[in-house]
Amino acid sequence: MTINRRTILKAGAAAAALPLLGSRAFAQGEPLKVGFMLIGTPNDNGWNFGHAQGAKFMKDTLGELVAEPTIVENVPEGPDCERVLRELAQSGHKLIFATSFGYGDYVIKVAQQFPDVKFEHATGYQRSDNVATYNARFHEGRAVCGTIAGHLSKTGKAGYIGSFPIPEVVMGINSFVLAARKINPAFEITPVYISTWNDPAKEADAARAMIDQGIDIIAQHTDGPAALQVAEERGIVGGFGQGADMSAFAPKAQLTSIIDHWGPTYVQSAQAVIDGNWASADRWPGLKEGEVQIGPYNESIPADVVAAAEAVKNGQIDGSFNIFTGPINDHTGAEKVPAGVTLTDAELLSMDWYVEGVNPPA
């Protein structure tokens, strides 16, 4: 299925025509304008696609209450994004989603100039009266992927392509390795950071280099399916979709995928702005709330492995299992989390150390 912005706009335009017929009263008299600022394009089939899908879900759910969502794509993390944020605020958008980590400083800055506009910053940590943050517990999905990797890897070595060594990414790496080592205690990975969220050429180069070094499973914390395509081409055991189901690009190699389902959170925020009760907060839902979902399992995965993966998933949903419960050793082998203790959210959000089994990148 391909949903691009044009179809979203079409759906939006059709819905926008409805108020002309209806007689419904609006809190603000006219539909709420919602803006989305993306670091890539919705056709990356990953992170940005997920947010565009969320925007569409919001429009489809709230109908004539919201205008067709405005999506500004390819906005770099720097002064350029400040300009885009101001442009959105000045053109009447009362709710603006900034969906990349590096937008943080600029969101805070622009939000001060537009106190009546609500800003929400995905994956960020800085809040103010009109700036909220939101994220998804991707690391819960990483635990499911890690379980599969631990079972299926023959070499016991996996590759992991990261963007930047920020807590969000480090957390995912640790979750993946902890889960894999519960199955194969010798499992190890060497992450590679490529200093960008979306550069298919760099992602593919990193994947090739790691496969040449003997890994047979690959995971990535970047925006697109490039690494999976390399996995497919080289015929290694496989990899995982990130942000969206990427099986179309790697039908054999994608073992499963972590799907971000941002729609409900966007509906909730837009509704709160319309009702006039929006408040700055930090939201961090996960598998349980359905914001993080596990895509279909590849047919090639044996039934017992699927069962183990499902057990990890369901354990996280009902709260009986937490991947960050000790004992956990750091990469030097020293005990970091004692048995029975679970890391708090605050500890996760400032995570800057690797678990045993990760060879820290230079």
Q: Which residues bind another protein (CB under 8 A)?
A: 5, 9, 35, 41, 70-80, 82-84, 86-88, 90-91, 101-102, 105, 125, 164-167, 170, 193, 195-196, 349-350, 352
Q: CB of residue 78 vs another protein: minimum separation in angstroms?
A: 4
Closer residue to another protein, CB minimum distance, 186 or 209: 209
Q: CB of residue 202 vs another protein: minimum separation in angstroms?
A: 12
Closer residue to another protein, CB minimum distance, 87 or 289: 87
> For 252, which DSSP code?
T
Closer residue to another protein, CB minimum distance, 96 or 246: 96
Q: CB of residue 5 vs another protein: minimum separation in angstroms?
A: 7
Closer residue to another protein, CB minimum distance, 80 or 345: 80
Closer residue to another protein, CB minimum distance, 103 or 266: 103
For residue 119, give both structure tokens.
């800003």
Distance of CA 68 to the CA centre of its chain: 23
Nearest to 70 by CA among 20, 13, 127: 13
CA 210/CA 155 separation, integer angstroms: 13
Nearest to 328 by CA among 308, 357, 352: 357
Q: CB of residue 169 vs another protein: minimum separation in angstroms?
A: 9
Closer residue to another protein, CB minimum distance, 88 or 143: 88
Q: CB of residue 113 vs another protein: minimum separation in angstroms?
A: 9
Closer residue to another protein, CB minimum distance, 67 or 180: 67
Q: CB of residue 93 vs another protein: minimum separation in angstroms?
A: 8
For residue 22, give both structure tokens.
């209806």
Buried-state track 188-203, b at ≥16 Cβ within 10 A, e below 16: bbbbbbbeebbbbebb
CA 255/CA 239 separation, integer angstroms: 6
Q: CB of residue 143 vs another protein: minimum separation in angstroms?
A: 21
CA 254/CA 247 separation, integer angstroms: 6
Q: Find out whether 49 and 224 touch, Cβ atoms under 8 Å.
A: no
CA 300/CA 243 separation, integer angstroms: 22
Q: Find out whether 123 and 135 touch, Cβ atoms under 8 Å.
A: yes
Give the gyration radius of the chain's Cα atoms: 21
